[in-house]
Chain A
Amino acid sequence: MLLPKARGTLSEQLFTALREEPGTAVVLDAAVADDAEDRAIALWASYELHYRGFEDVDDRWEWSPDVLRVRAGLEEVLESELRERYDAHRPERTSDRVEDLAKDLFDYIAAHDGPSMARYVQTDATEAQTMELLRQKSVYHLKEADPSAWVVPRLPTGPKAALMELQFDEYGDGNPARLHQHLFERGLEAAGLRSEYGAYVDEATVPVLESNNVQSFLGLHRRLRAASLGHLAAFEATSSIPSRRMAQGLERLGFPDEIVEYYREHVEADAVHEQLAVRDICVPLVEMEPTLADDVFLGAFACLDTEDRQARDLLERWGVDA
């Protein structure tokens, strides 16, 4: 993948620097960003140095203090905005007993009310809208499960083994043909879309980039490990039923079986994963470290919130009432 297109002053300066030799003095300040879009793409690219990198960027930039400094400035904005939104949506737990955590977390996720993109695809979306949705979704699905992988070495025994049990299934249970990222790749190709990693980043909406960034942010900061797992739990717990709706919508529109299969796989897989994420990962972690309970909800909120914002933004563009 090549560096994406800059979307403002900061990303322009950052990407220009990244094309140079590492070690070149870069004086960058997150504060020069024009707007949320400029910040989102700059942060997205600075995270991407930790995943697959860019063909036109020297790999040594990954640990450049200059880039990390800009990244930290952007993360500060991301985190404070996220916490501000979370403050208005804190769970109303009747107790903080860890025995109630599984139920409270499932209830918190279920009580969240947002626009349903899957319902729209199921019954109304046009082929062109659905193609656009797949392109937008590809930014995450082509690196599906990777952001939670950062958390593994940061966990104690029980939650670590449980997270690996879940991730193993995301990564195809050892079979590359079953790797979820790869199922999506095959689905994109069959649908006549590009499938290389990062193919559609230049057209990614700001909410899509932000949702990607939140996942990397939570995954890459050890202090937020419980939030990363709360995010995972909410993601899995809001997947089975919407995936079935997506599969039905894609069938209605005559999409090829490969892309339908990606969603069908998620109906069944995520019915398992949601139980593992809540009961075997989040709950035992909080049992061991009770102060992490609130972070689990923060992460769950981050997932629900960023998913809503992606859906609302696209539905609005399409002139659909959500």
Chain B
Amino acid sequence: MSAQPADQPADPTSDVTAGRPVVEERPTIVMCPEGPMLLRGDAVIEDAEGNRHRTTRPVSAVCRCNKSATKPWCDGTHKLLPKKLRP
């Protein structure tokens, strides 16, 4: 198995070194089925009213169902919604 040429930018989703699969680069933003959007790293979010919210933890969950009481963050309320109303 041939090693990747050093000058070729690595494809972050399928990094193979010396024939051994390397764990995939994890995504910065993840859409959780029927749940929130996970967001990694520092970010400032502007909500629909124009208020800004800074992330406070390494991974944040942003509400996608619009029913959270702590918007823009997910507070688990999506789980109380009927399945067809979940994101």
Contacts and interface: CB of A to CB of B under 8 A. Distances in A.
A268 interface: yes
Contacts of A241: 75-77, 79-80
Query: Which of A102, A106, A267, A270 has the most chain B CB within a 10 Å cutoff?
Result: A267
A294 interface: no
Nearest to A172: B57
Interface stretch (A7-15, A74-82, A191-199, A272-280): A272-280
Contacts, number: 63
Contact of A169 (B23, B57, B79): B57
Interface residues on A, range: 20 to 34
Given A267-B75, A275-B36, 12 more contacts: A157-B23, A240-B75, A241-B75, A241-B79, A244-B75, A267-B76, A268-B70, A268-B75, A271-B73, A272-B38, A272-B59, A275-B32
A168 interface: yes
Interface in B46-82: 57-61, 69-70, 73-77, 79-80
A272 B61 contact: yes
A73 interface: no
A179 to B, nearest CB: 13
Interface of B: 23, 26, 30, 32-33, 35-36, 38, 57-61, 69-70, 73-77, 79-80
Interface in A85-125: 102-103, 106, 110
Contact of B58 (A173, A244, A280): A173
A129 B73 CA distance: 31
A241 B68 CA distance: 10
Contacts of B69: 244
A165 B76 contact: no
A110 B36 contact: no
The residue among B33, B59, B77 with the most chain A CB atoms within 10 A of its own CB is B59
Contacts of B75: 240-241, 244, 267-268, 271
B45 to A, nearest CB: 13
A271 B59 contact: no
B33 A103 contact: yes
Contacts of A110: 79
B33 A271 contact: no
